[in-house]
Structure 1
């Protein structure tokens, strides 16, 4: 996984999230995230674009099973000391103030809520109101997780949240935790009612809904029976967002637990849809089982399940991350032979990595192949060149590419100047960034304000105040000219 951690490209062309779920909260979360937009969404924000494939691992020991309920809540509040028990929304003026720097006070608030819900008194709702706290989504989720862990009925708490914190009434994670609560208690009548309500309100579910299944250690017939029952419940409430997102989340959860056979079983008893198989392909690529991913793609082709470029893009990214560039570059032809046309992102992934590994000729050939396929170059295509060159420390090639582009496309060149300057600032090459920004100003190109400002501030902080003043003066002059 170190290869994945250090990569500068995301496996996933859409916003995707993997959460490793287990019956206890003491678990490892594995998140594969991207910006939510195709490829290079953050053109100028170096902090948010440090890596296109991001694997975050955080292992905690938060389970009350290990350290007792009180210790669990304390560590929960400590680990999330920055989350808002009081959310900074407009209605907080009517709520009691809680000092978030006071961990003991935060613990008391959470423990107070849990105790009230556990007691299940007839005046539970009014007692919760008397606390006078405006809870954040994260704090509500943490309370819900503890209640579920303790198998405390929480539907009244859920109803109270819907009424007192209506902005969260449609939140997928909170609604899914309510489903999980019913499942842990074995109250499938209440679970069915919840799903019907969610179907009417068009609410989506997340992987948190099915943590109660507890099938990680049981992959036999009983596990298949549990999955069949859940799918039956989702089918019973009808179509719509709740069912489709529920099945999607169920398959995702099974994959996150490495229960590939059960995930395939879930697909077999629902629909053999490309979107469901894509979850499996993505997971296999993430864990490095590329041969299995290729076999699954072949199976998808045989099933004629209306697949598109998405699983191929997962595979291409994973091959490139592992340095298998030649194999990755052969896939677009395979796609065309299988009547599955590549998209812009397919080529941009390959361009990025060929540039990163110093294979400029291959990158140019990919550009030509892109055009011959009827796909026009777009701004992210050019940015793929720049980021690839910079990632491979080929700074001169990145600069040359911008200069050549500036002669034919000033708009794109302006963006690329900003991207390159941002990356140099990120790497601490302030003098190079200064020269790039000054060159832009001299040519009449307009630097992005945030890039210029960061460069100016960094120059001042590193003892180059005179350069910062020169840059400020030239930038102000350009702004006046443009007015």
Structure 2
């Protein structure tokens, strides 16, 4: 390859996380490595020791891409890395590159051998392993399904980590390529697992296609694969991010109809976004609903509601919420009070922040030290002295606790 020649970086590079595979890559070095491999001389390994002692995954991707285009095996490079670069050869992406190279060469015998080798070492596979299938998807009559069936059979024979990670990565690759029907086909010939279903749902939601995601849930239900709470949470989060709250409420109702229980994350998502758009009373209603269902709120919920009340100047409501929440969730009471202290301090109401700290100590709750210090530094004269003395007396006492009794 001559300097200035156009290199086809469109295949493997698109699948590599970040998509910036040419960043800090020396094209001359890549060309030299490729030329050495193509010559296939006896001293290949010793020359690689000099040329690429610190070979990285990004460089490897470009090397293998060129080898794949030219239909050249990268096995000697792969074995050299195995013997000299323990960190790289254990990389899921690097192992996948060698499998992809076998695929481009139609060398399924070597691919099967490598899969069994990887399984014995507990290696996993990434989407890069199946990049060689992409050209088959251009034409409907290209035999793509037969090729996929063959790959699935090889993964099944290998078993272990290669099978589980391989099927997962194959389905994800198909979804990334907008080949959702083909991804469903893989599920049909392997397992109707909810983990695979969630890959389809996640990729649909990333595209803002929540209705399609719900349609997939309905379709897969008919084939015996039932969505779980995570499935619906993916859609809930996607709908809320797009301010489609009515759709989110509808999904929550559908969960109940289908007998799928909402969890703390389900309510976290709704409450957080309701607070974000200023609908704090609706958020509080969902808070009470989750508590009535025996679901313990996570700290994010408390922080979101308190902040929302304070933003709309409903300080008394924020205080009542804190008191009420500490009764319902006593083990989180120190942090819940701390959120209120922080909100008052952020708004410059140092006296209210101080009073909340004093109330905490009256109830035997240890104030957060960082918040205490920030409030203390904002006080002057006798007020600062009184708070400091009170805190010192409190921390030296044996009657402190972390929850409201």
The 3-state SS of whatever aligns with 2:56 is: helix
Q: Residues of 2 paired with 1:169 and 1:437: CA distance?
A: 55
- In the alignment, which residue of structure 2 is the partner of 1:384? 301
- Cα distance in 2 for partners of 1:480, 1:110 equals 68
2:24 matched to 1:77? yes
Q: Give the C-alpha shift of residue 361 in structure 1.
A: 3.0
Are 1:174 and 2:94 counterparts?
Answer: yes
User: Residue 322 in 1 paired to residue 242 in 2?
Assistant: yes
Which residue number corresponds to residue 146 of structure 1? 62
Please state which structure has a larger fraction of its residues in helix: 2
Instruction: Identify the match of residue 179 of structure 2 among 250, 256, 259.
Output: 259
Pair 1:231 & 2:161 matched? no
| Distance in 2, Cα, partners of 1:153 & 1:477 | 75
**Aligned partner of 1:394 among 311, 318, 340:** 311
Please give the alpha-carbon distance, in whole angstroms, between the structure 2 residues aligned to 1:190 and 1:414.
60
TM-score by structure 2 length? 0.75
Whole-angstrom distance in 2 between the partners of 1:469 and 1:142: 57
- In structure 2, the partner of 1:339 is 259
Contact residue 356 and residue 388 of structure 1 kept, 8 A: no
Asked if the contact 1:356/1:389 (under 8 Å) is kept, the reply is no
In 1, the alpha carbon distance for the partners of 2:346 and 2:165 equals 47
**Match 1:290 to one of 200, 206, 210:** 210
Tell whether the 8 Å contact from 1:231 to 1:247 is kept in structure 2 after alignment.
yes
Are the equivalent residues in 2 in contact too, given 1:293–1:315 (CA < 8 A)?
yes
Which of 255, 275, 283 is equivalent to 1:363? 283
Residue deviations 1:41-71 (CA, integer Å, cap 9, x gap): xxxxxxxxxxxxxxxxx665x6xxxxxxxxx
What is the CA-CA distance between 1:220 and the residue it aligns to?
1.0
Of 185-194 and 118-127, deviating more is 118-127
Q: Which residue of 2 aligns with 1:279?
A: 199
Structure 1 residue 285, shift from structure 2 partner: 1.5
Cα deviation, 1:88-145, whole Å, max 9, x if unaligned, reads: xxxxxxxxxxxxxxxxxx7787776666555543333344445695x4xxx6211210
Q: Is 1:303 paired with 2:220?
A: no
Deviation at 1:243, TM superposition (A): 0.8
> Which residue of 2 is the match for residue 18 of structure 1?
none
Task: Identify if the C-alpha distance between structure 1 residues 132 and 433 changes in structure 2 by more than 3 Å, giving closer, same or farther.
Answer: farther
Question: Is the partner of 1:76 in helix, strand or coil?
Answer: coil
Structure-2 separation of matches of 1:130 and 1:253? 36
| CA contact 1:202–1:240 (8 Å) conserved in 2 | yes
**1:177-228 deviations in whole A, cap 9, x for unaligned?**
2212222333222211111112222321111211122238515132223322
- How far apart are the structure 1 equivalents of 2:380 and 2:129? 56
* 1:161 positional shift: 2.9
Q: What CA RMSD, in Å, does the superposition of the two structures yield over aligned residues?
A: 4.2
Deviation at 1:410, TM superposition (A): 6.5
Q: 1:23 aligns with which of 11, 20, 23?
A: 11
Q: Residue 243 of structure 2 aligns to a residue in which SS? A: coil
- Structure 2, unpaired ranges of 5+: 1-8, 397-405
Q: Distance in 2 between matches of 1:340 and 1:171?
A: 37
Alpha-carbon offset, residue 335 of structure 1: 1.8
Residues in 2 aligned to 1:22 and 1:251: alpha-carbon distance in whole angstroms: 20
Q: Residues 433 and 259 of structure 1: is their aligned pair in 2 closer, same or farther, counting only changes over 3 Å?
A: farther
Question: Cα distance 1:440–1:111, how it changes in 2: closer, same or farther (>3 A)?
Answer: farther
Are 2:364 and 1:447 equivalent residues in the alignment? no
Number of equivalenced pairs: 373
SS of the residue corresponding to residue 221 of structure 1 reads coil
Higher deviation after alignment, 413-422 or 289-298: 413-422
| TM-score for both structures, normalised by structure 1 | 0.64
Judge conservation of contact 1:309–1:340 (CA < 8 Å) in 2: yes
Offset of 1:169 from its aligned partner? 4.1
Asked if 2 retains the 8 angstrom alpha-carbon contact of 1:417 and 1:437, the reply is: no
CA distance in 2, matches of 1:153, 1:481: 72
Say if 1:358 and 1:218 are closer, same or farther in 2 by CA, change over 3 A: same
Tell me how far 1:354 sits from its aligned partner: 2.0
Q: Does structure 1 retain, via aligned residues, the 8 Å contact 2:271–2:304?
A: no
- CA distances 1:385-417 after superposition (whole Å, capped 9, x unpaired): 423665898365595444654577665243346
Q: Which is bigger in relative contact order (C-alpha 8 A, separation at least 6)?
A: 1
Contact map agreement 2:81 2:89 (CA 8 A) in 1: yes
